[in-house]
Structure 1
Amino acid sequence: EREVGYGITDSWDEIVETLQGAPVSNDMELGGYVREFKTRVRQDMDEIYMRLDDEQTERQLLAGRLNMLFRDMRAHAYTRQLMETEARMSREAWVRATDASHSPTGTGDSFAGTGYHFTGTAGTC
């Protein structure tokens, strides 16, 4: 290795010297190395694609769950609104019934403001 400036080291000569002393490979050995390399690359690519497919499937499942949660959220909001309306109407009916039972006539036979008046006869309104 020799310094060529700016902190860069030239190691090319060392690499060439090392390779010059290495035994020469024939085409058969080289073909074997290429096949092994090709097999490893194919296996790595298969694993990468498998992981990508798994991630894509996981993302699709999460997206489906998220969409379902949004639909549920709207349904729950509508249900909450219905329950609040029903509770309000029940309170109003209770107040009317309470007011009617304390009516000035003392008969307790009318629901104030509802348009209903009981005559006291069973089955008639």
Structure 2
Amino acid sequence: QISEIKGLQAADRRRQTVISELLRMDHRRSKETSESRTALQGQITALQGQVTALQAYVATLQGQQGLAGDPTLPELPEEAGGSA
């Protein structure tokens, strides 16, 4: 009976070791996941800024094309100092 108890205790210690290792691995993965999430959020924020800048640039270009290509707008006067 004593040897059986010692065998059960040894098996229990091995299980506890495995559980501890699994908990360490889980903690490490959780930390890595959190760090990855933070990095991705930073990249998303940067990309959103780039999209906003590009949208403003496109709007500017569209405005310039609209002014240059709209036949209903009067022609701009020539600069002063030309042949008059």
The verdict on a shared fold, with TM-score over 0.5 as the criterion, is: yes
1:84 CA drift (Å)? 1.0
Residue in 2 that maps onto 1:64: 32
Residue 84 of structure 1: which of 27, 48, 52 is its match?
52
**Residue ranges of structure 2 left out of the alignment (5+ in a row):** 77-84
The DSSP-based 3-state class of the residue aligned with 2:46 is helix
TM-score, structure 2 normalization: 0.75
Number of aligned positions between the proteins: 74
Q: CA RMSD in A?
A: 1.7
Larger Rg: 1
**Which ranges in structure 1 are unaligned for 5 or more consecutive residues?**
1-32, 107-125
Identity value in percent: 7
Question: Following the alignment from structure 1 to structure 2, what is the Cα–Cα distance between the partners of residues 39 and 72?
Answer: 49
Which is richer in strand? 1
What CA deviation, in whole Å up to 9, does each residue of 1:88-121 have, x standing for no partner? 1110111122123345227xxxxxxxxxxxxxxx
Report the structure, 1 or 2, having the larger helix content. Answer: 2
